[in-house]
Every structure is written in C-alpha cells, then in structure tokens.
Homo-oligomer: A and B are copies of this chain.
C-alpha cells in the first residue's frame, strides 16, 4: 500500500530501516528535522539516532521548526547527542542540560532560522530528516501536520531522509502552500495579501537524487498538552473580547476584526475559545500554530479560514481532522514558518497578535523566556515576529503563579524579550491595560491599576512612586529593581514580609 505514497518509482528502492537511515548522520553534523510544536515531527529515525548515541559517541547540531513530540529532545539529550540546539524546545531534560550549560541553545525568532541558514550565518545542513505523507512523481515531498522549516532544510541539505507516515491520510496533499523567498539581492516581495491565499506549491520540490533513505512509519503526532480553560483564562478572554468590541464600536476594526494570531499553550488556547461566545463573525487566523480552539471555531463557523505552520491538537481533534481531511483542506493552509511568521506579512495584514508573557513590568516590557532572569523555559518562538509588526500586540498572563508566591507583574522584568515599544495591550484576569500612545509613566499607572493582582498592587505602586521621585523617562530604583525576584530566590515567595506602608496621597 505504501508504494502508492511513493509515486516516483526510482525512490521506492530507498526504503530502509530507521537504524540504517540514522547511519547517514555522522558525528559533528548539522541536522535539520521537521516538527513544529509537536506536529509533523519524525517518529523513528531520531529514536534510532538516540539509541545509537547511547552506544557510540555522537554529537550533532539539531535545528527544527520548533518543539518536537515523542520525547525526541529528551532521548537525544539523555544520550548526549546534542551539542547545539535551535531555535525552540520545551523538553524538561533538554532544558536542564541547557541551563547547566551542557548544550548550547540558540533561542531565535522563528521566522529567522532559515534566513540565517541561507545567509550562511549558521549551518550548512548536512542531513534533513522530514516527515512526509507522500512523495510525488517528481520526487517532491508532501509534508504532514506541519511545515516549519522543512522546505528550506530539504532544499539545502546534502542528504534527505524521509519518514513516510502512513497514518496520515493521502488526502492531506493540497493542505500545504510552500513558498520559499529567493536569494538576495534579487529577492521579490512575498505576494501574499490575504490569509487564505496560496502563492506556492502544495509540496516541497527537491532533487530526488538527494533523497538518500525512506523509512515507513505509522505513528500519530504527540497530542497537545494544553490544559482546558479555567476561571482566570476565561476572565482574560472576556477582557480581550470586550476590548475588541470597543475597537469595533469606535470604528477602528470591523466586526470581522483583522487576522488573529495566537501563541502556543494553555492561555492562548483559552483566549481563542473565548471568541466562540463573541459577536464577531467571519474571523480569519494568520498564525503559526492551530490548537483545539481554532478547529472548534472553524467547526462552529465563527472562523472562516485559518493559516498557520502547524496543527497541534488533542487526540480526538487530531483524529477528527485526519478523518475529514478533504473538509479541513478547504479551510486551512499550512505554510513555511518564515511565511507564517514573516514580518512583511504580519504588518501588511495587520494582525491581532495574542501571546503569553512569563512576566511583564510596570512599563510593559515582557519576559517570555527566562525564569528568574537566568533559566530558559522554552524560547521566544514567534512572539517577536508577531508582536513587533502586529496591528495590535497583546500579551496575556495570569497575574500570579505558584499559588500567589510569584507576581507576574514586577518592577522590572528580569529578562527582556519584548520591549515596551512592541507591546500595545497587557491582560491578566484582573483586567486589561491599553498602552497605545502612552508614555512610560502613563503605562505604569495603567498597568498597576488594571493588571497586577491586588495583593501585590500596593507594593508595586510604592516602588513606582519612590522611583518617580528620582525622575527619568522610565523611573527605576536600580538597587531594588530585582528585589522581588531576589526575595523569591531567598524565601520562595515574592510577597513582602511586612505590609507596605502607604503614604497619604
């Protein structure tokens, strides 16, 4: 049966075992692997590579679209097979080794990785390992549930290993739109002017002579691990809906809004769920990942079209999509991540970009990546691609973490991923701060009034008041700026030991 999936007859002889294919990867090589937020990753060759590395020392640079499923990062990290890793990850074992300084992690804007490869700033790619649903008559690759960086990996690699996943229906062909910008200095505009437009091919064109091995698999993608909405995420969604409603009422947006982008994870997923009960209609998404909420909005008819680079969903939603691929293929397009996240397109379309902050400060600077300013969580992902260029850059966070021992709103973020220039709106379950057109001191007042949890509000106001006494465009007390983080390190809580004495206003 799987021979139907390899329509280029000369390539059928390339079918081999994962172990044999993995031998193409040698110590010191740079490997480009498919996979974006657990979707469309390779299932068998990485495991074979890790098993081999347990026996024979192997150290590679691994570049992907974004995070992988199937414990691939864990297995490779445990086997000491990773010298360098980019541009994103979410695995606890890999994260521990990154933070111990054992694995070099290069945290990148997700639109930029293949640009850097093309420019020769990183790479070159020795071996690309790409999951496919089919290989066409000409040897072109039909991707599966993500595109990520696969197109450029395959086009740039010396050798290509295909994982042909028979568990993905052949009807997925046509879901993808593969467009790769041409080299400079003769590069042309990316011609995309609406979320539902197709500007490329439904497959990745490669020289079939570079396809060195084909491994047959059947395994599904690892399911999404997003948690269901809760009271706080519902409150965040409510604040955003009310804000967008006011924008429509003010004539700054139509009732179809502008294309939506939502980051990966529980809060962003919950925020999108909130649109189900909104009065907006004929919404479109231009995002990097589609989660359960996007599929449900499509099914409900609230969402008219969704463009992304991957589909990362729970098991039942995954099975529904695979069983109804012809239906979804008309309503979803998957693109290379340098197109889904392209600054050029994000600004042209004017996205409403909703991303998650780890913490933010009184001036609206956002930390998306570093716990306590030092330890990597996952990576910046696409949040910078979207926030910098969006029509509206919205960041969301619960106001507190760790049962209230951490305030997500702090005097100064311990690490900056997004500067105040790039942050329009901040939202917690407590409320929404609209920062557009405000100077830093005005931003601080709006954030303290609307976003910080009441149990931290007085302390934050006190910091801001005392900082203002010293003056400046962005008043701070440098000797106290990280005192909340230090207190957490010392006492496991940011809470002040004694109540702040408030001056009479």
Contact = CB atoms under 8 A, between A and B. Distances in A.
Interface of A: 84, 98-101, 104-109, 112, 115-116, 119-122, 181, 184-191, 193-194, 250-252, 258-259, 343-344, 347-350, 365, 370, 372-376, 380, 384, 388-389, 391, 414-417, 419, 421, 424, 436-439, 441-442, 467-468, 470-476, 478-479, 481-482, 485-486, 489
A128 to B, nearest CB: 18
Contacts of A380: 421
Contact of A373 (B107, B108, B474): B474
8 contacts: A99-B473, A104-B441, A121-B437, A344-B344, A373-B476, A374-B473, A380-B421, A478-B485
Given A373-B476, A388-B388, A185 B194 contact: yes
Please classify the interface of chain A as helix (H, G, I), strand (E, B), loop, or mixed, using the class held by over half of its residues.
loop
A34 to B, nearest CB: 21
A348 B344 contact: yes
A3 to B, nearest CB: 41
B107 A473 contact: yes
B482 A375 contact: no
A116 B181 CA distance: 28
A479 B473 contact: no
B105 A473 contact: yes
Contacts of A479: 482, 486
Contacts of A109: 421
A365 B419 CA distance: 11
Contact of A101 (B112, B389, B391, B441): B441
Nearest to A375: B472
A116 B437 contact: yes
Contacts of A373: 474, 476, 478, 481
A374 B119 contact: no
The quantity of this chain's copies bound in the complex is 2
A102 to B, nearest CB: 10
Contacts of A187: 193, 348-350
A473 B189 contact: no
Given A119-B252, A350-B184, A106 B439 contact: yes
Contacts of A370: 472-474
A193 B189 contact: yes
The 6 closest A-B pairs by CB, nearest first: A374-B472, A376-B473, A189-B189, A104-B439, A416-B416, A344-B344
A206 B160 CA distance: 57
B349 A185 contact: yes
B99 A471 contact: yes
A348 B189 contact: yes
A370 to B, nearest CB: 6
Contacts of A471: 99-101, 374-375
Nearest to A370: B474
Nearest to A257: B185
Contacts of A485: 478
Contacts of A251: 120
Given A120-B250, A384-B421, 20 more contacts: A99-B472, A100-B471, A101-B468, A104-B439, A105-B439, A108-B421, A184-B258, A185-B350, A188-B193, A189-B190, A189-B191, A343-B343, A343-B344, A373-B474, A373-B476, A374-B471, A374-B473, A374-B474, A376-B473, A416-B419
Contacts of A467: 374
A190 B416 CA distance: 31
B372 A478 contact: yes
A389 B105 contact: no
A188 to B, nearest CB: 6
A365 B416 contact: yes
A433 to B, nearest CB: 14
Contacts of A107: 421, 473
Contacts of A104: 438-439, 441-442
Contacts of A439: 84, 104-106
Contacts of A108: 421
Contacts of A489: 478
A267 to B, nearest CB: 22
Q: Among A190, A468, A472, which residue has the most Cβ atoms of chain B within 10 A? A: A472
